A = this chain, B = another copy of it.
């Protein structure tokens, strides 16, 4: 159905439309891409492509623009991988060098990604599957309030305010010791399991405090795990002021909701493979005029999460995909090395 020339034409339409931002016509196509046929022939092919749903016309007697389906075919079969420029490679190296801790890595990653792709970047905090509990601390702030602090083997620190109910310092110290010996080195899942039996073994006078504490611990372990997402490069949206209602507003609204962002990043493939969701393929309806390019990152089983960018469907997919992949790989290595 689609012979080579038609595919070439589709590829040309996509590249041209992305760079020129205008519907592309048959004459321009033959001239710019040295197709050795006449405009009329190209028109015939375009008619077929349109019939098949790969391209469309904004109005009669305008050039053609790709549909979501057209972009999809382009991404799947036509886009040549565009290698990163030297400057981009250097940017990646220098951006990440000297990162301090997890927070810093994530912050730098999001900036980097936004800068290279010139789009809005989203980075999810690494999920620490293989992590184990390294230390549990209970700090009393005053007679009533204390702080439960949980340190994981990956260096992540979570805290939760707890009500001590006026328990004496000795009781707190006792409980801390019990919790540490019981839970140290366990995975979160195992810790949850074990925690309830710890509760049963507690002497009566620690029972009340222990219940509160383990509830807090449970909440830390279950709810928190890196549902956190960081966003950057929002001003890049201003490049699309002509698509205010279809792109700028919906993206700004999506960025406000962590839940939406997580859904957007969700269901990406294995690390190293870039997933592209084009227009209506997005799970979040208002973003039907934008595309998401995402990838998992983190090559160790210890740290694994996703990152990506959001932009108008009319974007330079080869470059963007290359950039997302490169950043994902680099950050993955960086995390693995420590």
Contact = CB atoms under 8 A, between A and B. Distances in A.
A139 B134 contact: yes
Interface stretch (A10-18, A37-45, A62-70, A234-242): A234-242
A236 to B, nearest CB: 9
Interface string A21-38: 000000000000000000
A249 B253 contact: no
A88 interface: no
Contacts of A234: 234, 252, 255-256
Interface string A145-177: 101010101110101110000000000000000
State the copy count for this chain. 2
Given A100-B160, A235-B249, A139 B145 contact: no
Contacts of A244: 238, 241, 244
Prevailing SS type, chain A contact patch: mixed
A252 B238 contact: yes
A265 interface: no
Contacts of A232: 256
A316 interface: no
Given A238-B252, A256-B232, A151 B139 contact: yes
Nearest to A236: B252
Nearest to A114: B256
A141 interface: yes
Interface string A220-240: 000000000000111101100
A155 B145 contact: yes
A134 B235 CA distance: 41
B147 A149 contact: no
Contacts of A151: 137, 139, 147, 149
A288 to B, nearest CB: 17
A338 B159 contact: no
Interface string A187-227: 00000000000000000000000000000000000000000
Contacts of A137: 135, 137, 149, 151
A314 to B, nearest CB: 19
A101 interface: yes
Contact of A153 (B101, B134, B141, B155): B141
A96 interface: no
A248 interface: yes
A146 B275 CA distance: 36
What 7 A-B pairs have minimum CB-CB distances, sorted nearest first?
A135-B139, A238-B249, A235-B252, A235-B253, A157-B159, A139-B151, A101-B161
Given A139-B151, A233-B256, A234-B255, 5 more contacts: A100-B160, A134-B140, A155-B159, A235-B256, A238-B249
